[in-house]
């Protein structure tokens, strides 16, 4: 499934990157819900015939976790979550979806075919928080998904509303999303860290909380407006290539690996950007965290990555990744012709919009 940010534009979300597994580290999903029992979802749907397939999808990767069928205009799912999490419910294996920020509660859903975006979800306190969060952010989606010039008044207004939401709900699993959105608009890692510090320990240690913490740490490294340090590494033919050899071009320095699912999902967006702007003083420089050469080469060929690729085939110990303290992928830096960082972790529409503003003047 493509990035949730792009598919679910009316209630934007995001997928997790592949994170480096530290020795003796806890699994990513370590937070435990405060709810005692499991969840029960009872759904009523109109205009779907009996036998329609209903999938309960993981909201981070789009994979089905449970499947059932409509019977008498109803469907149901049961289970137990370690922590409140984002889920999607689909019919006939197709979009649109019903979004659900689910906790271990008794949840009712009422929906009509053709109007799934109007589905009424009741019973999940976390989903209630998510609904409030979406009410705040929905009118300002372009502030998060494009790199167009931002209206200062709009940024100030939605930032203020999200800060109020954060202050009211320091123990909500949705609140880290609000911090993430504020940082997208303001690019202020110090402010992001300050807001993150107001959350309860349980929320800070949740998967989304850990993602935000990771963004805070990354924001402190290789900051915007600074020259990205030079490096060199071998290409597939053993030729040593340096970053400085690309001086004079806009360059997307892209950290990825053949085994990284989110990286491979994002590659088509990078390919589209490269093909569109390669004749306008733009290129991509790939840094692979692979350990074995053939899978790396196979992925380059399969995904059509027709730009310079470098790797020392040392996995997470890749010398360039170590130099820039890369602990999750995909990750990228966009630098200008002078080597100055002008964008970080640009994906999908955000990358397209940034390049459009720079190269189609």
- The reply to whether 4-123 and 232-359 are identical in fold is no
Mean pLDDT in residue range 36-49: 93
Q: Which helix (H) or strand (E) element contains residue 40? A: strand 39-46
Nearest by Cα to 56 from 39, 73, 31:
39
Angle between helices 189-196 and 207-220 (to 10 degrees): 150
User: What contacts 24+ positions apart, CB below 8 Å, involve 195-198?
Assistant: 195/163, 195/166, 198/166, 198/167, 198/170
- Write the pLDDT tens digit of every residue in 101-154: 999 999 999 999 999 989 999 999 999 999 999 999 999 888 876 656 678 899
Q: 207-257, pLDDT tens digit by residue?
A: 889 989 988 887 777 778 889 999 999 999 999 999 999 999 999 999 999
What is the per-residue pLDDT across 318-338, written as a single tens digit (0 to 9) for each?
999 999 989 889 999 999 999
Does the domain made of 232-359 have the CATH classification 3.30.499.10? no
Does position 15 have pLDDT exceeding 60, yes or no?
Answer: no
CB 176 within 8 Å of CB 192: no
Predicted confidence (pLDDT) at residue 12 exceeds the cutoff of 60: no
DSSP string of 260-293, one letter each residue? -HHHHHHHHHHHHHHHHHTTTTEEEEEEE--SSH
pLDDT for the residue 20: 65
The pTM assigned to this predicted structure is 0.65
Rounded mean pLDDT, 43-55: 97
Give dist(CA 231, CA 325) in Å, integer: 13
Rg (CA), the chain: 22
On the question of pLDDT at 3 being above 70, the answer is no
Q: Note whether 215 and 183 are within 8 A (CB).
A: yes
Distance, in Å, from the CA atom of 180 to the CA atom of 299, rounded to the nearest integer, reads: 31
State the pLDDT at residue 308: 97
Higher pLDDT, 188 or 205: 205
Question: Is the pLDDT assigned to residue 159 strictly greater than 50?
Answer: yes
Model pLDDT, residue 224: 82
Please give the residue that has the higher pLDDT: either 12 or 215: 215
Overall average pLDDT of the 279-292 stretch = 97
Quickly tell me which residue has 């080469």 as its tokens. Answer: 297
pLDDT of residue 32: 33
| pLDDT at residue number 24 | 39
Q: What is the pLDDT of residue 28?
A: 30
More reliable by pLDDT, 151 or 159: 159
CB burial of residue 329 (10 Å; 0-12, 13-18, 19+): buried
- CATH topology for 4-123 is Immunoglobulin-like (2.60.40)
What does the mean pLDDT of the chain come to? 87
pLDDT, tens digit (0-9, with 9 covering 90-100), for 58-104: 987 788 999 999 999 999 999 999 999 999 999 999 889 999 999 99
Give me the pLDDT at residue 172, please.
Answer: 96
Beta pairing, strands 282-288 & 250-256: parallel
CA separation, residue 5 to residues 60, 111, 347 (Å): 10, 23, 10
The 3-state DSSP class for residue 11 equals helix
Q: Minimal CA–CA distance to 35: which of 127, 132, 106, 128? A: 106
Q: Is the pLDDT of residue 22 over 60?
A: no
What pLDDT is attached to residue 360?
Answer: 80
CA 211 to chain centre: 9
Contact 241, 310 (CB under 8 A): yes
* Residue spans per domain, the chain: 4-123, 135-220, 232-359
Average pLDDT for 192-199: 95
- C-alpha 41, offset from chain centre: 26
Size of the chain in residues: 361
Indicate if the pLDDT at residue 35 is higher than 60. Answer: no
């Amino acid at each position: 499934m493509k990035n949730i940010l792009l598919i679910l534009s009316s209630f934007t979300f995001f997928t997790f990157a592949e994170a480096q597994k530290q020795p003796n580290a806890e699994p990513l999903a370590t937070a435990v819900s405060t709810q005692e029992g499991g969840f029960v979802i009872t759904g009523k749907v109109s205009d779907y015939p009996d036998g329609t397939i209903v999938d309960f999808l993981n909201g981070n990767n789009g994979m089905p976790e449970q499947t059932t069928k409509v019977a008498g205009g109803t469907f149901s799912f049961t289970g137990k979550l370690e922590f409140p999490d984002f889920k999607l419910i689909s019919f006939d294996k197709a979009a649109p979806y019903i979004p659900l920020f689910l906790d271990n509660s008794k949840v009712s859903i009422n929906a009509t075919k053709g109007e799934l975006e109007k589905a009424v979800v009741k019973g999940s306190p976390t989903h209630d928080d998510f609904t409030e969060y979406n009410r705040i952010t929905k009118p300002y989606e372009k502030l998060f998904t494009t790199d167009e010039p931002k209206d200062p008044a709009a940024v100030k207004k939605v930032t203020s509303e999200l800060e109020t939401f954060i202050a009211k709900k320091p123990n909500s699993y949705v609140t880290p999303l609000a911090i993430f959105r504020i940082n997208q608009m303001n690019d202020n890692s110090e402010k992001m860290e300050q807001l993150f510090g107001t959350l309860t320990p349980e929320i800070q240690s949740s998967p989304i909380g850990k993602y935000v913490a990771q963004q805070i740490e990354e924001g402190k490294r290789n900051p915007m407006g600074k020259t990205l340090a030079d490096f060199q590494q071998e290409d597939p033919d053993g030729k040593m290539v340096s970053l400085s050899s690309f001086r004079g071009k806009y360059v997307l320095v892209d950290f990825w690996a053949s085994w990284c699912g989110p990286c491979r999902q994002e590659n088509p967006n990078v390919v589209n950007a490269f093909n569109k702007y390669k004749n306008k003083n733009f290129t991509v420089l790939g840094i692979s965290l692979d350990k074995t050469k053939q899978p790396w080469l196979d992925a380059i060929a399969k995904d059509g990555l027709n730009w310079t690729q470098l790797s020392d085939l040392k996995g997470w110990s890749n010398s360039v990744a170590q130099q820039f303290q890369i602990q999750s992928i995909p990750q990228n830096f966009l630098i200008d012709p002078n080597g100055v960082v002008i964008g970080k972790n640009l994906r999908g529409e955000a990358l397209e919009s940034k390049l459009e503003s720079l190269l189609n003047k």
